[in-house]
Structure 1
C-alpha cells in the first residue's frame, strides 16, 4: 500500500471527545486556569490523554493540590467489529477512587466508556461525550466548564422538596460513610 493511501485526509472526520468539568468551588479557586477551555485540540490516538496536576506528565493539568499528580487517563482504541474509535478510562491515582457511571475504579483499574459517561474523583465531576468520526490516527478534544453539576440531570426531584441524588452506589466522593444517601421521612429513624 502506498503512503498516500494510509494517510488521513482533510475530509476524514475526527472523533470528538467532549470533556465538560465541574467543581463546586471552581469560580473561587481557578483550578481550570491551566486548561485550554473553549477550544478543540487534536490528539494522537496512540498517546493517552492524561489529567492530573503535573503539567509535565499530563496532557491536561488542574491547578489543585488535592488532585493526584496523575489522576486519570483516557486511551483511544478500535475494535475489529466496529469502524469507530472508542475510549477507555483508567484510574492513575494511588490515593483516590474514580467513579464512572456509578462503578468505582481503584488504582490502575480500567473501564471502557460508553458514548456518554459521568465521572467523579474527589469533588470533581466530568461529563464525557463521544461523537464518532472516521479518522483512526487522531481525535479532537474539546474542553469546557459546566456551571452546574452534571449529576443534577440524573437526580430524582420530589414536588415541593429539594432534589435527591440517586447515584446508584454507596460511594460518596471518598467519604467513608455507611449511611444512606437518601431517606424516607415516613419511616422511623433508629440510632
Structure 2
C-alpha cells in the first residue's frame, strides 16, 4: 500500500504587479527526498525571474529527525548576495533553520508562506504553489532581506494593539482558487511570540 506524501503548501507574493517573476512556477511539483532548490537558474525546482536572485538562492531540505517517522524540513540559504528572513530571524549564506507547521519567509522582495502537512512517506513530498496578489507578511520594523532592494511594508491599522517590534501576522485574504482548482485556505492574522528558538 502506498504511503501518503507530505504536502508543502507554498504561497508566493511579489509587489511588482503583472511581473513575470512567477512565469515558471508550476501549480504542483512532486519531489524526491532531496533538497528542493529555489532560485532563478534553470536547475531550480521553484524558478523565479528576479535579476538579483541567485541561481540557487535557498533550498527546502527534507530530513528525518532522530526517532521521527515523518519528514521534517529545514530552510538553507545558498546565496552570497543577501539574506533570507525566516520566522523573525535573518539568515545568511549557508545558515539554515528547521521549519515548523507554518513558516514566513522573505527574500529579494518575495514573500513566501510555507505550510507543512505531514504524510508518512519518507521517499518523496509534494509542493503545491499558490500565487497571491496581496501581501502575505507585514513587519512593523523593516528588516530588509536584501540590502539592494526595498520591499513596501504594510502597517497594521491604528489601535490594533499589535505594537511589538518584531510582530508578524497574516493579512486576511478571501478564498481563492489555486491553479489546480481547489480553494486555497484563507490566511488568518496570527500573533507570533518574538524570535523562535
TM-score of the pair, normalised by structure 1: 0.73
Name 2:35's counterpart in structure 1: 48
- Give the SS at the match of 1:29: coil
* Aligned residues of 2:76 and 2:96 also touching (Cα < 8 A): yes
> Which position in structure 2 is the counterpart of 1:159?
none
Corresponding residue for residue 35 of structure 1: 25
2:118 maps to what in 1? 132
- Aligned counterpart, 1:188: none
- Deviation of 1:120 after TM superposition, in Å, equals 0.5
Larger radius of gyration: 1
* Cα distance in 2, alignment partners of residues 50 and 33 from structure 1: 16
C-alpha displacement of 1:126:
0.2
Provide TM-score, normalisation by structure 2.
0.71
Q: Which has the higher helix share?
A: 1
Determine the C-alpha separation between the residues in 2 that align with 1:125 and 1:15.
Answer: 22
Measured in 2, the distance between the counterparts of 1:80 and 1:109 equals 21
Could you list the runs of 5+ residues in structure 1 that have no partner in the other structure?
1-8, 153-164, 185-191
Could you list the per-position Cα deviations for residues 21-75 of structure 1 after superposition, in whole angstroms to 9, with x for gaps in the alignment? 10011x32221011103xx321001x210010001x3111112212111110011
Is 1:64 aligned with 2:50?
Answer: yes
- Stretches of structure 2 lacking an aligned partner (at least 5 in a row): 159-197
Number of residues of Structure 1 aligned to a counterpart in Structure 2: 152
Local SS of the residue matching 2:137: helix
Given that 2:82 and 2:145 are in contact with CA atoms closer than 8 Å, whether structure 1 keeps it comes out as: no
